[in-house]
Structure 1
Amino acid sequence: MTDDLVDLVIQQWQQERPDLNPAPMAVMGRLVRSCALFDRELSTVFSEFGLNGGEFDVIATLRRSGKPYTLTPNQLLQTLMLTSGSMTNRIDKLEEKQLVMRSPDPHDRRGVLVSLTPKGLEIIDKALVKHLAKGDQLLAALSLAEREQLALLLKKLLQSQGM
């Protein structure tokens, strides 16, 4: 396998600061570069449907919650780990696009429910197919076993940080 930019950075640090071990950069640098690549590539998928990544996350969360594709804003907050202001903003934008609708919560007079509209359901179902296809394309260099191993290693890393 040929050297990449991260290898070059590590070599430069080894030369300039031989007193430090830049080994963590091998993983951190590649994760950061991978995240940037995935964000860029997935943004193109989302934009085909008039969405950004955050909006996709909201309607995907509603879709995977099962029929009737309805959650409270608090349930969405817990799932997506956002601030209430960010969640309100996302819901407002999705409501303007007629992809979600708010309705009174029959179990809580002060509460609100957020539901996918038929248009939102149609869009998320189409966007999800393209999202997964793009994921397969991005991960094509890895075998199924390598993908599974990478997923487990990343899970272990994130869980060690309480995520």
Structure 2
Amino acid sequence: MDTLDRILGEWERERPDLDVSALAVIGRLSRYADLVQARLDAVFAEHGLQSWEFDVLSALRRAGSPYELTPGELDRALLITSGTTTHRVQRLESRGFVTRRRDEDDRRVVRVRLTDAGRAAHEVAHEAHAENETRILSGLSEGEREELLSGLTALGRVLGDTVETERA
């Protein structure tokens, strides 16, 4: 029995007329997302990063050489608003992890580029992050991991999570 089982039992007792069976899945997704995030954040903190900093550095690193994106491309890569992107880029720039420069062909366009210091910070943190993710899932058998992935992928499909949705 876990926390959600207890909560479901309480709802069954208090509101037997209400179907709360979806809470068994949705509640666990929410609770486990928080538990996983806490474990991810702990490793990022060991490397002097917050999760959002790691996310921005990762988006730039994934872009490939020269490891730069426009703020709009960062918005889409991180699924955040332009105001949030501006704030995050400013914070990372103050740490020396990114620079901003005007595009040579179109001076109206700004490009955010990963610096050598940002890339070095990301590389070390990324290795630890990958090990941490593996550790988080290590208690699951290969079959359980495949079932979990299949179920989560199906849920994403039902929720409309596609590359086209991401672009919109």
Instruction: Tell me if both proteins adopt one fold, taking TM over 0.5 as the criterion.
Output: yes
Q: Which runs of 4+ in 1 moved over 4 A?
A: none
User: Which of 22, 26, 32 does residue 28 from structure 1 map onto?
Assistant: 26
SS in 2 for 1:108: coil
Match of 1:122 among 120, 134, 143: 120
Query: Of 48, 51, 54, which aligns to 2:49?
Result: 51
Output aligned runs, 1:6-155, within 5 Å: 6-155=4-153
Q: Residues of 2 paired with 1:104 and 1:144: CA distance?
A: 48
Cα distance in structure 2, aligned partners of 1:65 and 1:84: 18
46-55 vs 30-39, which moves further: 46-55
- AA in 2 matched with 1:37: L
TM-score by length of 2: 0.91
In the TM superposition, residue 136 of structure 1 has moved relative to its aligned partner by: 1.2
> Distance between the aligned counterparts of 1:87 and 1:151, measured in 2?
30
Unaligned runs of 5+ in 2: 162-168
In the alignment, the residues of structure 1 paired with residue 66 and residue 144 of structure 2 have an alpha-carbon distance, to the nearest angstrom, of: 36
- Shift of residue 51, structure 1, vs aligned partner: 1.5
Give 1:86 shift: 0.2
Which amino acid letter does the alignment assign opposite residue 133 of structure 1? E
RMSD: 1.2
1:79-125 deviations in whole A, cap 9, x for unaligned?
11111000000100100110111111123211111111011111111
| Letter of the 2:160 counterpart | G
Alpha-carbon separation, structure 1, partners of 2:143 and 2:45: 31
- Using the size of structure 1 for normalisation, the TM-score is 0.93
Name the SS of the counterpart of 1:102 in structure 2. strand
Distance (whole Å) between structure 1 residues aligned to residue 102 and residue 118 of structure 2: 19
1-structure distance, mates of 2:140, 2:67: 34
Number of aligned residue pairs = 161
Runs (5+) with no aligned partner, structure 1: none
